[in-house]
Structure 1
Amino acid sequence: MRQPSIMLLLLLPLLFSAPSTSTPRDFDFFYFVLQWPGSFCDTKKSCCYPATGKPTADFSIHGLWPNYADGSYPSNCDRQNAYDASQIADLMESLRSHWPSLACPSDDESTFWKHEWQKHGTCSESVLDQHAYFGAALRLRAQINLLQALQDAGIKPDGGLYSSADISSAIRNSTGFEPKLGCNADGGGNRQLYEVSMCVDAKGERLIECPVSSISNCPSRVEFPQF
């Protein structure tokens, strides 16, 4: 009978002792990401309103994402900890208002929340369980009024072009912290303000200065479309 190679014999203990899933190290901070619905919809893909109707013309939650200070991030950390709508039943009304889904086809938004919990929320479960995770995002949203901050600076969602530097300055003056801007392209290829990310401490409680460089993918002037 053919004998196993020496290399295989050396590897066998490692193979059988290796865990089935990797355990992420403690994360350092969250990105709290808000999106402008007008920019989500003003693309070649367009958008679909949820069953509850057209969302309010305001920045809505995209997600609360654990990150490491070296710029990397964990994802899909615990596939056994499934999304359970019954755990956040008391938050549903607020989630529909402030965390709506505009993806097509339209649904009851649970698909969006399920994705965010499984990809990002499960990586924060050492600090926040499912109810605490969604609750933290809603509390942060209540603290940050981006639209008002921009309008106070004369930056309005009217389809006009605005300075990215002025947008950042208006948000910084309102919140006390530097934002990270994200842009997408409309149907004509024009760059538009799509997302604003703020850094939050690892408990999900308060805004902090970002421990990593907040490099924007936006040009010097961006469109701020209507919704």
Structure 2
Amino acid sequence: MVKWETSLFTKIILMLSLAVVALASRNGDFHYFYFVQQWLGSYCDQRGEKCCYPPTGKPGPEFSIYGFWPYYNDGSFPYNCGGGNFDEALLKPMQDRLRKEWPSFTCPQIGRKFWVHEWNKHGTCSKSVLGEVAYFQAALSLKNRVNILQALTRAGIHPNNRLYPLKSVKKAIARATGFHPWVVCNRNSQGVSQIWQVSVCVNKSGTKLINCPFVPKGPGDCESRIKFPSF
């Protein structure tokens, strides 16, 4: 009886050890990025939430960077991979651009802590390919290339509080980027579905748009017609 219990205990320890090794191995790799932008008008007008403007005041009407997240092909993702201490001094040359293109509007206004959070949770899982500076530079470069507001404006879709067909929104972005986007909606205080986040997929080097291997379903799904709120 003692021998059987010892054998079982040994097997359990071995299985747990293998699981930890497998997880560590997986955390060190990924297949692609989701580059996510958000419409601040929707973030600041969502049900049950409040936004706070940075010390520089209310920004102009524009989509801003929300995240640059490594993913696996099956739709899962690594996070909090560790081993990549955030060094704010390294980002000083691009700090003005980050404040403009990758702001935080969480209350209370958290400023630079948002970049620390994004690096610690997501960036550290891509550090085998992109170090801290390269990670943020890649996101800023993609922001210049993926101009969501311009794509929608060219298609006659404006932030004027009107409802637009979801298909038209996706088509306009796909025409401008060459790739189908993942559009996430939230709801305003009246419960109306509105455009919030737009994501495109990017290769592991963070330089080239690709077709998304996986598009999640569930929370954030949009109605067939969605509001484009003013800001």
TM-score, normalised via structure 2 length: 0.89
Q: Distance in 2 between matches of 1:141 and 1:171?
A: 14
Which residue in the other structure is 2:50 paired with?
Answer: 46
The share of aligned pairs that are identical, in percent, is 44
Look up the equivalent residue of 1:192 and give its one-letter code.
Q
**Contact 1:35-1:62 within 8 A present in 2 as well:** yes
Cα deviation, 1:53-105, whole Å, max 9, x if unaligned, reads 11221000001100111111111111x42222112111101000100111101
Q: Distance in 1 between matches of 2:60 and 2:53?
A: 11
- Residue of 195, 198, 202 corresponding to 1:196: 198
Distance 1:187 1:26, change over 3 A: same
Distance 1:26 1:54, change over 3 A: same
Q: Distance in 2 between matches of 1:6 and 1:210?
A: 46
Pair 1:73 & 2:74 matched: no
Q: Distance in 1 between matches of 2:154 and 2:139?
A: 24
**Contact 1:33-1:196 within 8 A present in 2 as well:** yes
Which residue in the other structure is 2:87 paired with?
Answer: 84
Structure 1 unaligned regions, length at least 5: none
Root-mean-square deviation (Å):
2.2
Which residue in the other structure is 2:129 paired with?
Answer: 127
Which residue in the other structure is 1:226 paired with?
Answer: 230
Shift of 1:137: 0.1
Distance 1:213 1:9, change over 3 A: closer
**Contact 1:56-1:97 within 8 A present in 2 as well:** no
**Contact 1:198-1:207 within 8 A present in 2 as well:** yes
Shift of 1:35: 0.2
Look up the equivalent residue of 2:123 and give its one-letter code.
G
Which residue in the other structure is 1:8 paired with?
Answer: 9
Q: Which structure is higher in helix share?
A: 2
Q: Secondary structure at the match of 1:22?
A: helix
Q: Distance in 2 between matches of 1:52 and 1:71?
A: 37
Q: Aligned residues, how many?
A: 224
Look up the equivalent residue of 1:185 and give its one-letter code.
R
Q: Distance in 2 between matches of 1:15 and 1:168?
A: 44
**Contact 1:55-1:100 within 8 A present in 2 as well:** no
Which residue in the other structure is 2:221 paired with?
Answer: 217
Q: Distance in 1 between matches of 2:166 and 2:14?
A: 55
Which residue in the other structure is 1:159 paired with?
Answer: 161
Shift of 1:213: 3.7
Which residue in the other structure is 2:30 paired with?
Answer: 27
Look up the equivalent residue of 2:69 and give its one-letter code.
W
Cα deviation, 1:188-208, whole Å, max 9, x if unaligned, reads 111100000000011000111
Look up the equivalent residue of 2:185 and give its one-letter code.
C
Q: Distance in 2 between matches of 1:10 and 1:149?
A: 57
Deviates more, 1:129-138 or 1:7-16: 7-16
Pair 1:58 & 2:59 matched: no
- Residue of 99, 105, 108 corresponding to 1:105: 108
Q: Secondary structure at the match of 2:196?
A: strand
Q: Distance in 2 between matches of 1:92 and 1:113?
A: 10
Q: Distance in 2 between matches of 1:11 and 1:33?
A: 40
